[in-house]
Amino acid sequence: MRATITFGRILGIPIGANASWFLVLALVTWSLAEGYFPASYPGWTAGTYWIVAAVTSLLFFGSVVVHELGHSVVARREGVPVRAITLFIFGGVSQITREPPTAGSEFRIAIAGPLTSIGLGVVFGALGALLAPIPVLAAPAVYLGRINLFLGVFNLLPGFPLDGGRILRALIWARGRNFRTATRWASNVGHAVAFVFILLGVGQMVSGHISDGLWIAFLGWFLHSAAEASYQQVVLDDMQRGVTARELMTREWPVVPPDEPLDRLVHDHVLTRGEPWSYVGKDGSVAGVITLRDINAVPQPKWPAVTTGQAMTPLAAVPQARPGDTMRTVLQRMDDAGVEQLPLVEDGRVVGTVSREQLLRYLRTRSEFMI
């Protein structure tokens, strides 16, 4: 779940939003301004409804960020790094870079979010009661109190990968089952919860509540897909465990001299041999990497006059990995850098290359033997 826009950092954690979040922000604001607040607080002007609705929507999604921060703070305390928090169509997600090491860690990380939301619900509810004489201020607090309590309770449902599903996985894991088995059981319960949502959504649509039914059914479909994807990720992690880049790397790679013109590089390597990238160097030493992106950054009429050494990306600026890095680390680094291959560097010297294609081929082969 990548962020379309980053708002900043809280406690060193990047906070961003996926494109789908902006649609939901607009829909929530519209729903509050045209439905909830006019029905609950009649007599305000249209402008007041919209201003209060916009503020309430932003505070609601701020509450979602605080919910995710609850997970993230505990995760970091448990030694699990957190890459970012991203808002999206169904709320928010903490991008935790690896699974918790123990069942106890899993339980504490999972329970932190719902407890945070329930705490926010109590605080906002009390604030709404104190501000009752000033309806325009009390209205957002009352709504946020209710919605945070709902968010906390809803996330306790055992619909993996909701927080309740992760709590269920932690409990199964703690009873002596291995992590993969616990995930499979929690995922199966998550599928059941998802189907209940889908059936409820269909029932709502049949009874005439089309928009509500569609939303509930869509939520069920999302939970079903997420439960399956979460289990498959665990299976994938099992296949990667213990495998290092050294075992999969290629020790031969295309090398071009730094004085070769770009037009010759394109003709002899890119077009003729189908090599979309090459190392640049001579006498066994690698100075950099030249890719299609580097070539296209130079206007084509200048290709005969520009050399690979001039157009390349220096090796120090190229995303790298070490031969001893795990397969998961290498894939993560490729994703972060948006590249399809990485040089493997040891003691300042390139000793091999690993590509995404090699890693995926290995995973496909391993999957044929997985039970």
DSSP string across 130-192 = HTTTSHHHHHHHHHHHHHHHHHHHHTTSS-TTSHHHHHHHHHHHHTT--HHHHHHHHHHHHHH
Q: Quick check: 243 and 362 in contact, CB under 8 A?
A: yes
**For 48-70, what is the mean pLDDT?**
94
Instruction: Among 66-80, 320-334, 336-350, name the most confident range.
Output: 66-80
* Region 158-178 average pLDDT: 87
pLDDT at position 132 is: 92
Question: How high does pLDDT run on average in the chain?
Answer: 86
Where in the sequence numbering do the catalytic residues fall? Answer: 68
pLDDT for position 371: 45
Domains of the chain: 5-240 (no CATH), 245-367 (3.10.580.10)
Q: Which residues pair with 350 in a beta bridge?
A: 345
CB 303 within 8 A of CB 277: no
**Total-model pTM:** 0.71
pLDDT in tens, 191-233: 898 889 899 989 888 888 787 788 788 888 878 887 777 777 7
pLDDT digits (tens, 9 = 90+) for 270-283: 888 777 888 888 87
Please return the burial class of 234, using the count of CB atoms within 10 Å of its CB with bins 0-12, 13-18 and 19+: middle
